[in-house]
Structure 1
Amino acid sequence: MAALREPGNIEGVGLGLRSAHSAELLAGVGDVPWLEVLADNYAHGDGLPLRNLESIRERYPVVFHGVGMSLGSAEPLDKSYLDAVLDLARRIEPAWLSEHLAWTSSGGRHHHELLPLPFLDETVQVLAEHVQQVQDRLGGRMLVENSATYMAFHDSQMSELEFLGRVLETADCLLLLDVNNVYVNARNHGFDAREFLRGLPADRVAQMHLAGHDDHGDYLIDAHGSPVAEPVWALFAEAVRLFPEVPVCVEWDRDVPSLEVLVGEMNRASGVVTEVTEVALAGQEGLSHAP
């Protein structure tokens, strides 16, 4: 297929496309600049949903996001799944494709969960090989997303931060930074979320995600069924400071509210971006006028 466009054609804060909002979005409600499409919802189908997606694509720039590629499986990639996603990409022409650093299938069975990976040299190699296979067929670099996890492996040889950096470098891919997942993992595994952000390779960060989580006291669940939590907004401001001009997508997958609610979250995220950018510019002007 023709090479995907590199990040840069998608700007500002967009939304994850949900079918309940398609009619309003086609009518231009909410002034949404771009949409993230869950490719799994359309890759194996046809008919009205796909025609609606084609209509959406005529009006909005889109990117693809996936949950079923199982990049971390020790087994070969599912060729039929990959073929379906790439066929859809040829038809819709997204700006780029992203997928989670996780495994979701084994022995030909799909588990419908983003399952955690041990942070091992061997895992880095498996992920890199799979990512490179996808990129060879895409004709461009894909984005991989840091996943939320609820357990850790005793055999892990490195931190999540080092693991993520190794994967990005070895596979020569880009990062979809899920800010909520950083916060969730920091709480669940006891590390400093801001230090994690500061340790990321800035030149690899190509998109961000914002979403809500469920707080169970001793642990957090990346549930995508509520507004973005206040501590995550604060962490997002730090991410914007570190990675300016990176496009952001607001996700909401469970108990999906009205488009008005999602646009409210989108507008708040845009406000954070504007505020952080203005502060940074003011600081630069102050330095330029210093004696």
Structure 2
Amino acid sequence: MLLNTPGVGLGLRREMLDEVLACPSVPVDFWEVAPENWMTLGGRYEKQLTALTKCYPFKTHGLSLSIGSPDPLDTTFVKNVRTFLDQHDIQLYSEHLSYCSAAGHMYDLMPIPFTPEAVRYVVERIKRVQDIIQRPLVLENVSYYAAPGAQMSELDFILNVLEQSDCQLLLDVNNIYVNSVNHGYQAEHFVKALPTKRIAYGHIAGHYNEAEDLIVDTHGADVIEPVWKLLELAYQVHGVFPTLLERDFNIPPLAELLLEVERIRGLQQQSLQLQERIA
């Protein structure tokens, strides 16, 4: 069993800045930001972010790379991301295994067709991104609501992309749960089939139940019990990996967010103790 490095993170939103900066020390091991929401800002926001990146480790989770887009790769954007990462000494850049642009920005995460041709296309683009940023690209398994033109399963698509590109995985357990309900597969099997060696870190979040067989991934609610159980299983199978709580709207006070952060930490400690007993 691989024992990874534990750690608990929280997504930093601009509306949280004053509260976070007012705390002498927030009990998180790392923060996460979307580069494009910060790298064009100057003045007060830049100073506030710099103050935090000097005190805490940071990871980044982008929104606009659009790795599967039919449009040409925006290398100028990728170079700007590299500059932002270097400026704040951030080593990890994650994005979505999806696309959000095609002759214009669509402001949503669209599913890449699960086909061998799409695998080859995405792999080539990943390698170009990694060459520019001089870091591994970390790609997240995404929630999706249709699979047009699929010739392989979601799992096989992800496994092929990871192996052929030599990139890393951001394991989002909530997205696995959402997709398992929406598309009728077994979430536990999906988690167990992922390659441990590729997991850089994880996400956990809440969602919205539109119907019994339709869940919308919103990041706007508390995490539900089946998703906590899935995270616990992921630790049992893959070892404890750094895990971040996502909350994008309906953001409660920091003290309430930290309750869920501490639940992640408790699951990590529980899993590490179990692994030590087994070893």
- Shared fold per TM-score greater than 0.5: yes
Give the unaligned 5+ runs of structure 2. none
- Does the Cα contact within 8 Å between 2:174 and 2:206 map onto a contact in 1? yes
Q: Which residue matches 1:5? A: none
1:236, 1:133 → 2: CA distance?
A: 32
Q: Which residue matches 2:243? A: 248
Q: Which residue matches 1:177? A: 171
Given the alignment of the two structures, is residue 238 of structure 1 paired with residue 230 of structure 2, yes or no?
A: no
Match among 26, 33, 49 for residue 29 of structure 2:
33
Q: Which residue matches 1:148? A: 143
AA in 2 matched with 1:131: I
| Deviation, structure 1 residue 132 | 0.7
Q: Which residue matches 2:52? A: 56
Query: Pairwise mapping of residues 129-144 of structure 1 onto structure 2 (< 5 A)?
Result: 129-144=124-139
Give the unaligned 5+ runs of structure 1. 1-7, 285-291
| Deviation, structure 1 residue 86 | 1.7
Q: TM-score, normalised by structure 2?
A: 0.94
Fraction of identical pairs, as percent = 37
**Following TM superposition, where does structure 1 have runs of at least 4 consecutive aligned residues deviating by more than 3 angstroms?**
8-11
2:163, 2:278 → 1: CA distance?
A: 32
| Deviation, structure 1 residue 93 | 1.6
Query: Pairwise mapping of residues 93-132 of structure 1 onto structure 2 (< 5 A)?
Result: 93-107=89-103, 109-132=104-127
Q: TM-score, normalised by structure 1?
A: 0.90
- Does the Cα contact within 8 Å between 2:78 and 2:133 map onto a contact in 1? no
2:4, 2:33 → 1: CA distance?
A: 16
AA in 2 matched with 1:244: G
Indicate the RMSD between aligned Cα atoms, in angstroms: 1.6
Give the length in aligned residue pairs. 275
Q: What whole-Å deviation, never above 9, does each CA across 1:63-122 have from its counterpart, x for those lacking one? A: 111011000012211233223222211211212100000110111x11111111110111
1:239, 1:245 → 2: CA distance?
A: 8
Q: Which residue matches 1:78? A: 74
- Does the Cα contact within 8 Å between 1:187 and 1:220 map onto a contact in 2? yes
AA in 2 matched with 1:102: S
| Deviation, structure 1 residue 9 | 11
AA in 1 matched with 2:244: C
2:240, 2:130 → 1: CA distance?
A: 24
1:50, 1:131 → 2: CA distance?
A: 29
